[in-house]
Chains A and B, each alone.
Chain A
Amino acid sequence: MGFKSLWLHRLRSLLTMLGIVFGVASVIAMLAVGEGASQVAQEQIRRLGSKNIIVRSVKPALEQKATGQRSRAIEYGITWEDATRIRSSIPDVEVLVPNRIIRDVVWNTQWRVDGQIVGTVSWYPEMRQLRIIEGRYFTEPEVAGIKNVCVLSINTITDLFPNGSPVGKSVRIGSDYYKVIGIIEDEGGIGTASQSQNFLVQTSETKNTTERRSENLSYQGKMGKRDEGKGPGATPQYRIYIPITAAQKRFGETLVRRTTGTFEAERVELHELIVMVNMENRVEEVARVVDSILQKYHKQRDYELTIPLELLRQAERTKQIFNLVLGTIAGISLLVGGIGIMNIMLATVTERTREIGIRRALGARKRDIILQFLVETIIMSGTGGLMGIGLGLFIPYLITYFASMPTIIRLWSPLVAFGISAGIGIIFGIYPALRAANMDPVEALRHE
């Protein structure tokens, strides 16, 4: 019966339902986008390691414009000594990974990429939870023996070795050749969007930017900070991993950068130091100790600390706020949809006053009339809800397809959305239904 009268006013019912359809669809789509984004962020952070503290060398702001002193190299950053100090003075530190990161062009005959050469130790992949895709990583003896071997991140392969597997072949960096022994997963993780790739994996190489973080930005609130000009769709990080000893030997301590018209030399012993703490709940404490040790030996603040665990918590907080905002928006849109339904139902009740009178005269009780109109509203909002779910499941797909943003649809989100829409139908259907039922049958029968 309810279907019939709704079907009779197909267009009107459909238009009325649209409010609910879009409300529900937007709830699902927004939740999916939110979940997707937060999942990626959390995955990124988790990859950095929840037990890790990352110390990076940062070019200090004061020394940057040493006017006219082009010949002198700028010396800054964490040193081997720092690493040793941290290792020996904090018992909770389990593993240390020193890295040197150098920017250079990597050649394979005529193919080239602008890569980041990461000089590191043999246990680096383990620390960063990176998967070896092909071949192997270099070993300790290879590090000790200063071997010219390298491992390529998977994204370099397409540009550098378009004609098949690079394992066993060589690449040239500067005047040295390195044997490719393996392929490793990108640090951003396989299949994640480029947007979030730059999210946390910041390069430690210092850029010629004047904008530098202030002192108080120590190891908090780094979420969402990005290098300039590296928005979504920026070129991915091509990483080439070589033994740290080789990096030291072949590239030297002093790095020369050519920027337009000037040479800039800088001396950095270590670009990055990853400190792994034995227990997750000690991470923050150890970070503070590390900071104070470094402070003692560094005149200026030429390093920064990143604590993935801290970021993870921050990400969770951000997600909560995000969900709250989304919930409010979705709630408002559903409310608007509900008011639309109520509006139409009130009009319907007036329009069908005579029918109500007839039904009452033929024996319908008040509750029969209430039920009749309520069922219509619920059918309307329920159908709208189902259509909304259909649309809501489709939109994230479109978003992923066109905007290449990851989306995740949780099972509960369509269920919740549908429940809310049905609830809205009941809440906003009750008043028109009551109004219909409380009409005086005599008056209703006389209604033209």
Chain B
Amino acid sequence: MNNCVIKLEDLKKNYKMGSVDIYALRGINMEILEGEFVSIMGPSGCGKSTLLNVLGCLDKPTEGKYYLNGCDISLLDDDTLSDMRCNYLGFVFQSYNLIPQLSVVENIEIPLYYQGVSPNESRKKAIEIASRVGLAERLYHKPTELSGGQQQRVGIARALVNNPLVILADEPTGNLDSKSGKEIMDIFIELHTQGKTIIMVTHDENIARYGERIIRLKDGLIEKDERVLSKIGATT
């Protein structure tokens, strides 16, 4: 039996927007096992992003428990949360979020820098990861000199470089055409087959079906948690 890496117990999150209280998450219960590839789907405003922020330790839950690798996140201080992000999580963003001043390899190195890895070793590691996602030729280019698909590969490489427990992807193909989108998803499938735990937020049914499990959110609650029977990735 695989380990449970993420466990949510009646997780609630409200925040104030102006004078209005917004109940973004209203009691989520779920478990995600090591090696799972989970897609989180739902219409806009259903709480997808809020859930991803909480899962990514960027935001603390208002109520309820969130265990990441067995550790209760709601009890941790800011520095420890940073350490959790640094050691257990890898982020892939819709808009890539690369630092434009830095080259490809430098962007990939950022998480290692905060882990305190020596410059030599982190350079070696970054180059290795970059080659794995097909960026060996582009190491010293600036992000602006790359196509969208290539930029997202940099994003994935950066999320992988610290060998995280969970990869959190927020609409990773949202800014890409379907061809590069598929290439990116192929990388995710490959990572999944290597045993990585992936949680991906999307509102595209076709993309969601690359995963093996789809969690559908509606109005801050889980509407449906289903297994994917005809996986796209498996058929291609």
Contacts and interface: CB of A to CB of B under 8 A. Distances in A.
B58 A354 contact: no
A363 interface: yes
A354 B86 contact: no
A365 B111 CA distance: 11
A441 B85 CA distance: 12
Interface residues of A, number: 20
A308 B224 CA distance: 100
Contacts of A362: 85-86, 91, 110-111, 114, 158
B186 interface: no
Nearest to A4: B101
A358 B97 contact: yes
Contact of B56 (A8, A354, A361): A361
A435 to B, nearest CB: 15
Contact of B162 (A5, A363, A366, A445): A363
A186 to B, nearest CB: 63
Nearest to A358: B97
Contacts of A142: none
Contacts of B86: 362-364
Which label, helix, strand, loop or mixed, suits the secondary structure of the A interface? Answer: helix
Contact of A355 (B59, B99, B111, B114): B99
A259 B53 CA distance: 99
A365 B101 contact: no
Contacts, number: 59
- Greatest chain B CB density within 10 A among A359, A360, A366, A441 is at A441
A442 interface: yes
A367 B116 CA distance: 14
Contacts of A114: none
A368 interface: yes
Interface stretch (B4-12, B30-38, B76-84, B199-207): B76-84
A255 to B, nearest CB: 83
Which label, helix, strand, loop or mixed, suits the secondary structure of the B interface? Answer: helix
Nearest to A357: B97
A355 B143 CA distance: 14
Contact of A354 (B82, B91, B97, B114): B97
B101 A8 contact: yes
A365 B59 contact: no
Contacts of A363: 82-83, 85-87, 111, 114-115, 162
Interface string B44-78: 00000000010010110000000000000000001
B6 to A, nearest CB: 17
B59 A442 contact: yes
Contacts of A366: 78-79, 82
Nearest to A363: B86
B67 to A, nearest CB: 20
Contacts of B99: 355, 358-359
B77 to A, nearest CB: 10
A288 B97 CA distance: 85
A360 B59 contact: no
Contact of A359 (B78, B87, B110): B110
Contact of A441 (B58, B87, B93, B101): B58
A442 B82 contact: no
Nearest to A448: B95
Nearest to B164: A363
B114 A365 contact: yes
A365 B83 contact: yes
Contacts of B85: 360-363
Contacts of B59: 442
Nearest to B84: A363
Contacts of A360: 58, 82, 85
Contacts of A354: 97
Nearest to A368: B114
Given A362-B91, A365-B78, A442 B53 contact: yes
A364 B56 contact: no
A5 B86 CA distance: 23
Interface in B83-141: 83, 85-87, 91, 93, 97-99, 101-102, 110-111, 114-115
B97 A445 contact: yes
A442 B50 CA distance: 9
Interface string A1-41: 00011001000000000000000000000000000000000
A357 B95 CA distance: 13
| Pairs A-B, 10 closest by C-beta atoms | A363-B86, A363-B114, A365-B82, A362-B111, A363-B85, A441-B58, A358-B97, A365-B79, A442-B58, A362-B110
8 contacts: A4-B101, A362-B110, A363-B114, A365-B78, A365-B82, A367-B79, A442-B53, A445-B97
Given A362-B110, A367-B79, 13 more contacts: A5-B101, A355-B99, A358-B99, A358-B110, A359-B114, A360-B58, A361-B56, A361-B58, A363-B83, A363-B87, A368-B114, A442-B53, A442-B59
Interface of B: 53, 56, 58-59, 78-79, 82-83, 85-87, 91, 93, 97-99, 101-102, 110-111, 114-115, 158, 162
